[in-house]
Chain A
């Protein structure tokens, strides 16, 4: 036993913990639970923890994966509960196991979103929104580290569904998690750039499930 993987939720207030802060939060959870974490052996030792798909601030997730390494064997069945007893609100560990696949095998993410519309009823948006995400080409401009680029959303956003709610719409879709990485916010940017009348006044997303390239659930 050396490399281990934890699946956990990050919801509610915890959605606002940044990736960098989460690394610190998680490390302290491990320390409080007296987990024998392994540290790097450099001049400034740091815990060997890595989060497979870093999450943007404000986005919730029911399916986060985190790899970490331990110095000696631990009771992995008991670990999630042990960690939960000392975790902040909104961080909940679901299971711990020895991973069989590398995180690079992740390809798709199922997400849900809340689209709030202040001035129109969600019902009137359903059809045009469905039509928008069925377009053959949805080129969206985005800023990356290398400067401004264009990403083709068509093909990288799949199975778009939506239904009206009191405040607007609830949407569901599957987005490409890696190569290319589609940040859910790009859906909003696409609407803003190509069909501004469909852009919600507020949107909030949640990751629901992780898949490999063949749409098998990734663990």
Chain B
């Protein structure tokens, strides 16, 4: 072990996250491999190791015998400070080698608030932040992950970005890079060739041209740039690699359990939800695959908890069959199964009762909006009756805590909708009074609100975010409307949501502000421990970026958007239709009732059908 590291470790919190050496980590002989990749996750170990995407890609890339992919996470503040003080460069966990020695750095960016951490990791690795300041081919710095569906804010820093699911395209990029390196290509020649791979966006091949009012006139294609970059998907989830022998962390992580993926995509089409649109088309695993992968993973990890993961697990067609198969194996071994992201309907509730025989904790539902009108606007197909019935079953079954999540600031929201949240909570309380078998235990109803952030590639991508003061006014209105003692109200501060809104729909100029914020000390901005609103406002000011232009301005429907070169599979005309239906409070049926012809089907090979 590095002597400097040995001296630092006893003085930092949770040192086990900085050592590697866990079961199933992949060690290769570096003199034997032809390419070394650092898989960089811009958050701490406990978060990164909980990320299924990272685990899948780590396995996929390491399945290539001559490529060694290692893990790199962002150190927590105390560790980052100690490393800088001792002039230690960012290193990879497997080999302990500095990241600067690697051929390729691949960042997984799932969330906009991680942008500064990406820059901080590059800096800690001793690598210039901007692609333009890295003239050589090596190291190649690229990114993937949901945030890349608007690649522009991070465009100045990345050599290329990968859109969609990475299992195939990552390896294609690495192999092309290997060839370029071995044959001595220039970086530009490599990027031109890489741009021909479907799913690869090369920022330096596009030039933003602005109108006088600051909006985009066009994203101009430079020679060699494809008109559109279409995301990649895996069409057959039954045959694609799945990590059933994953690394078992030796220290507790956030989601310390086995993940069993059921399907990708979502049938619901909630209009505020980016994931519901960008992960289409819907592709499911066969129940046999789910059962086999689940049992293998539990057996190989020794985990006592498994969770069935998907955007909306209860929409999996074969859920009862998959659950039965897994329960048959899990129950005699005391392994518990859990289902996140359940919908508030009766079917989910029955299932939940079957899965959780003990541990009656709290249940969480996300009605998102307080009135039926607004729920129709956002196409959240949950009725008040659904929710109240579900709560009734839960209370009768012994649950005594319900959490309800809402967003404030959704398009068309009125004060009536805000007060509707309080009314809904009061009705849930009323249901408890009617149905709880044991009132002495009391009840906890928690209402949480956050400030809506409009996201690219969703039907609300043109919408204005409400201002922070308006959000606060609505919070106060709601707080004053909640009178029952058993109802607790928590609200997220709107500052983070405002910055998130700027970053998520930002253009290349926002990239300058991200760098300025980092220079002022921003990193780990998703953590309230570190988030500093003033620092961001100073950074915007310094760069002449008006944050309101990005967050609280409504875009016209024909405005050129920074992500206009990106095709996530769903037609813009469909997004517009959904936007118009939203304003008419008109529902769209879910994909299984009627296909909306969103366009994502065309990403699948001929003859393969979307599972919607």
Contact = CB atoms under 8 A, between A and B. Distances in A.
Interface of A: 12-14, 16-18, 20-21, 24-25, 27-32, 39, 43, 45, 57-58, 86-90, 202, 204
Contact of A21 (B10, B16, B21, B300): B16
Contact of B302 (A27, A43, A45, A202): A27
A12 B1 contact: yes
A57 B15 contact: yes
**Considering the complex of A and B, which 4 residue pairs feature the smallest CB-CB distances, nearest first?**
A28-B302, A13-B21, A31-B302, A89-B21
26 contacts: A12-B1, A16-B9, A16-B18, A16-B19, A17-B16, A17-B251, A20-B252, A21-B16, A21-B251, A24-B252, A25-B250, A28-B248, A28-B301, A28-B303, A30-B302, A31-B303, A32-B300, A32-B301, A32-B302, A58-B9, A87-B23, A88-B23, A88-B248, A89-B21, A89-B22, A90-B21
Given A28-B303, A39-B334, A86-B23, 15 more contacts: A13-B21, A14-B250, A16-B15, A17-B16, A18-B14, A18-B16, A21-B16, A24-B252, A25-B250, A32-B301, A32-B302, A57-B15, A58-B9, A88-B22, A89-B22
A25 B299 CA distance: 14
B250 A17 contact: yes
Nearest to A86: B23
Chain B interface size, under 10 / 10 to 19 / 20 to 34 / 35 or more: 20 to 34
Residue with the highest number of chain A CB atoms closer than 10 Å, among B1, B18, B250, B252:
B250
Interface of B is mostly: loop
B4 to A, nearest CB: 10
B326 to A, nearest CB: 16
A17 B15 CA distance: 8
B34 interface: no
Contacts of A27: 302
Contacts of A29: 302
B389 interface: no
Interface of B: 1, 6-7, 9-10, 14-16, 18-23, 25, 248, 250-252, 299-304, 334, 358
Contacts of B21: 12-14, 88-90
A31 B304 contact: yes
A13 B252 CA distance: 16
B345 to A, nearest CB: 30
A88 to B, nearest CB: 5
Contact of A43 (B251, B299, B358): B358
Contacts of A16: 9, 15-16, 18-19
Given A32-B302, A58-B10, A13 B334 contact: no
A58 B301 contact: no
Residue with the highest number of chain B CB atoms closer than 10 Å, among A21, A27, A87, A88:
A88
Contacts of B22: 88-89
A20 B256 CA distance: 14
Nearest to B247: A88
A13 B1 CA distance: 8
A63 B251 CA distance: 22
Given A13-B1, A16-B15, A28-B301, A21 B23 contact: no
Contacts of B9: 16, 58
Nearest to A201: B7
A14 B14 CA distance: 12
Contacts of A88: 21-23, 248, 250
B88 to A, nearest CB: 15
Contacts of B250: 14, 17, 21, 25, 88
A117 to B, nearest CB: 13
A132 to B, nearest CB: 22
